[in-house]
Structure 1
Amino acid sequence: MKKWISLAVVAVLLAGCEKLEESVAQLKKIEEESVIKLKTVNAYTVEENAEAKTMEVAGVVSPRQELALSFGASGKIASILVQKGGTVKAGQTLATLDETALQQGINAAQGQVASANIRRSKAIQGPESHVLQTQQLQIEKAQETLQKAEREHAQARILFEGGAIAKDELDRLALAQRQAKLTLEEERVALGKLKQGADRLDVEQANADVQQANVQLSRAKQDASDAILKAPFSGVIAAITKSESEQTAAGSEVIRLVDTSSWLVKLQVESEQIGNWQQGATVKVKATDGSEAEGKVTFVSPVMDQGRGSYPVEVTVTGSDVSWKGGMTVTCQYQLDATNTMVVPVSSVGVAEEEYYVMKIKEDIVTKTPVKVGAMYGTFYEVREGLTLGDQIVGSGLSYVVDGEAVQVSNE
């Protein structure tokens, strides 16, 4: 009997233990489920930056010089002396025009100059002796004509008084006498002018003719000079748009020359960062292919580009053998003195209603906290207000949590 009672007690105890274990398991399961429901976040502890930071801004590379070269005169291209991709030196001849017509123009202009100089020399020297002699003969001839006219008029007067001729005939001979007298006076005046030497107006006109002829000659020589296309600077031939024997107009592009000895990187810097950029500062420029070079800040715009809402900045890279191409994107790393500055990751800062904020963690509860940020240092924001050293904030994934939510921190 006692044996059966003992067995019953043992059975009851075993059943109780099993129920207790089930209850404990259920409690553990509930606890695990409640823990699993908590969101896990990465945390960042706010601290002072002990090292200088680097600001990174992307920009576009362009050659320092790129020029479309053209002839200054029209004509047929006689020769192209370079190839696309070739390297040329400053002053090197790149192409020429057919100079046949241009040389003819020079010869004609030189002939005009020579003729004008001869005319000027004659004008300065005055009339030659044979000219004076010719004019003297003209006077003698005019005198003879006058004498004849006087005789005829005297005879006509006698005949008129005798009624032999009409009054009209007498008047005609009187007029002829006056005209002969005027002609003689004109010839004598002309001789007087010739004896005075060079005429001032003739000399001035001759000088003007010489000057005009020289202008034409200079123009013809300039056209011949414009028929030779030379490199204004050393560089690489980027394109050749014309071919030999092809007609080209003055000013029409024939060759495009690029100076790859230096590069210009154009940046757009945000207003929060522009105060850190100084002209003359050193910048490390990195390309996507891994190549890098050192550049200098050569321009910082004093005014904002209203269309972009940022400030244009230019960095010049010189003396580098990088094989960059115009239009490629590079990153400029600008070293900043940001020591002893309180910073937080960019990924930990959100923007709502034009206000910056972070999600502060305290006793496993996140609280949306407004902050005032300063300059951006690479992937970090300077924090000026809203946080203190040692504060713990959500490091990333702000859209993952909401204000007042309980979380668990996985790491920092």
Structure 2
Amino acid sequence: QVDLTLDVSGRLAEVPVRPGDSVQEGDVLARLETGPLEQAVAQADLNVRLAQLDLAAAREGPSEAELAAARAAVRDAKVELEVARHAYSATLNSALDSAVRSRKIEFDWYVGYYQGRKAEYEAGHLSQSDHDHAMNAMISAEGRLNEAIERARMEELQAQNRVDQAESALYQAWQRLQLLQSGPLTKTIMQAELEVDRALLAREKARADLEAAVLRAPFDGVVLEVNAAPGDRISAGATLITLMDPTALEARVTVIEEDLPLIEAGQPVELFVDALPDASLRGQVARIIPQSVPGESPRYPVYISLDDGWPAVLAPGMTVDASIVIAERQDVLTLPRALVRARSDGTAQVKVWVAGQVEERTVRVGLRGDLRVEILEGLREGEQVVGE
């Protein structure tokens, strides 16, 4: 099974499937509202066209109208610079300078007046209030002088800024005229080509996003889960649909650590499923995981694939038992496994009925299955073995 996602975000317009539905490869499983994505594609198409037009213009070079406009811009910039310089000169001789001089004369008079009144105050011939009045008058005159100076400085600064801006504008206009007169530039053409490439990439992404707004079944299968409904806001990469491929099922069984070295990929397997009690399914070992699963005793996962595919009634999570054939021999002597307790050296002790009495005998064993054990030596066909 596989979790299916959308590569773009948006609002779901439709989800035409439900859990349990069978679908075929290419069937629509979900679809986003495509209005914003279609607008993005249209805008990307327009951007490509505009970039291509700019590239064509860059390759052709400037037109006569562009050259005429550039020359006119140079003339206008020269005029503006002359006006700005004249205004700056006028500012230096403006009425504000006269105001500064007038306020300076006023301030100097109040300084002299205050010094005289101060001397009288220190000699004891002037009251405190008259002294303070003279000092406040001097301070007020100083404030009026500073205000006049600040206004004059601001006017001069504004005039200088105008001159600087006019000089910069003239330089830029002159540079543009020279650029146009030099004809098509390799740098300009390369920049225009890069803009076309960017626009094409953006359009390709916009189209891909529009196409990605539709989620289709990647294979024939059965829908297991649907995690959203029409109207829901979906984030890119969020699981929307879980789809199962019934033909790709595997059986997962575990083996004990003693049997793990005997298991190899490709060995035949017979499977028994509770859902099909009368059926015997055949498959083979597909993969072996050499890492034990949590539990009281070590057990190792083994994955089994079916030779002829899985019956449609089977589903993930069903129980299964498996017999893995590690080796197979025909026409050999065997005993029921319950009668043979094999030792680590490959031998076992059994009881044989001989001449009306029990005889203890050591036998050598070979292959051991779930039900029977191969006897290599120590017994002959037809001899009777006594059970516990």
Structure 1-normalised TM-score?
A: 0.59
Q: Which residue in 2 is equivalent to 1:117?
A: 52
Change (3 A) 1:388 1:273: farther
Q: CA deviation digits over 1:289-347, x for unaligned, max 9?
A: 3253654426365x855665668352234455441121223344667641243322111
1:360 aligned onto 2:295: no
SS of the aligned residue for 2:197 comes to helix
Change (3 A) 1:300 1:370: farther
What is the CA–CA distance in structure 1 between the aligned matches of 2:54 and 2:196, rounded to whole Å? Answer: 9
1:382 aligned onto 2:317: no
Aligned positions of 1:107-186 closer than 5 A: 107-136=42-71
1:72 aligned onto 2:7: yes
What is the CA–CA distance in structure 1 between the aligned matches of 2:75 and 2:226, rounded to whole Å? Answer: 77
Change (3 A) 1:298 1:74: same
Change (3 A) 1:80 1:354: farther
Q: Which residue in 1 is equivalent to 2:122?
A: none
Q: Which residue in 1 is equivalent to 2:93?
A: none
Q: Percent identity?
A: 21
Q: Which amino acid aligns with 1:82?
A: V
Higher strand share: 1
Task: Out of 189-198 and 375-384, give the one that drifted further.
Answer: 189-198
2:200 to 214, 217, 221: 214
What runs of 5+ residues in structure 1 fail to find an aligned partner? Answer: 1-65, 146-182, 398-412
Higher helix share: 2
SS of the aligned residue for 1:341 comes to coil
Change (3 A) 1:360 1:273: farther
User: Does the 8 Å CA contact 1:358/1:393 hold for their aligned counterparts?
Assistant: no
1:292 aligned onto 2:279: yes
Q: Which residue in 1 is equivalent to 2:240?
A: 254
What runs of 5+ residues in structure 2 fail to find an aligned partner? Answer: 81-168
SS of the aligned residue for 1:339 comes to coil
1:325 to 290, 315, 319: 315
User: Does the 8 Å CA contact 2:226/2:242 hold for their aligned counterparts?
Assistant: yes
What is the CA–CA distance in structure 2 between the aligned matches of 1:322 and 1:134, rounded to whole Å? Answer: 79
User: Does the 8 Å CA contact 2:271/2:283 hold for their aligned counterparts?
Assistant: no
Change (3 A) 1:331 1:189: closer
User: Does the 8 Å CA contact 1:349/1:356 hold for their aligned counterparts?
Assistant: no
Q: CA deviation digits over 1:219-265, x for unaligned, max 9?
A: 22222122111000001111112122112211111111111134322
SS of the aligned residue for 2:306 comes to strand
Q: Which residue in 2 is equivalent to 1:204?
A: 190
Q: CA deviation digits over 1:179-238, x for unaligned, max 9?
A: xxxx99998886564344211111111111111122222222222122111000001111
What is the CA–CA distance in structure 2 between the aligned matches of 1:316 and 1:347, rounded to whole Å? Answer: 31
User: Does the 8 Å CA contact 1:240/1:255 hold for their aligned counterparts?
Assistant: yes
What is the CA–CA distance in structure 2 between the aligned matches of 1:337 and 1:285, rounded to whole Å? Answer: 17
User: Does the 8 Å CA contact 2:285/2:302 hold for their aligned counterparts?
Assistant: no
Aligned residues: 296
Q: CA deviation digits over 1:20-44, x for unaligned, max 9?
A: xxxxxxxxxxxxxxxxxxxxxxxxx
User: Does the 8 Å CA contact 2:41/2:207 hold for their aligned counterparts?
Assistant: yes
SS of the aligned residue for 1:221 comes to helix
Q: Which residue in 1 is equivalent to 2:333?
A: 342
Change (3 A) 1:134 1:252: closer
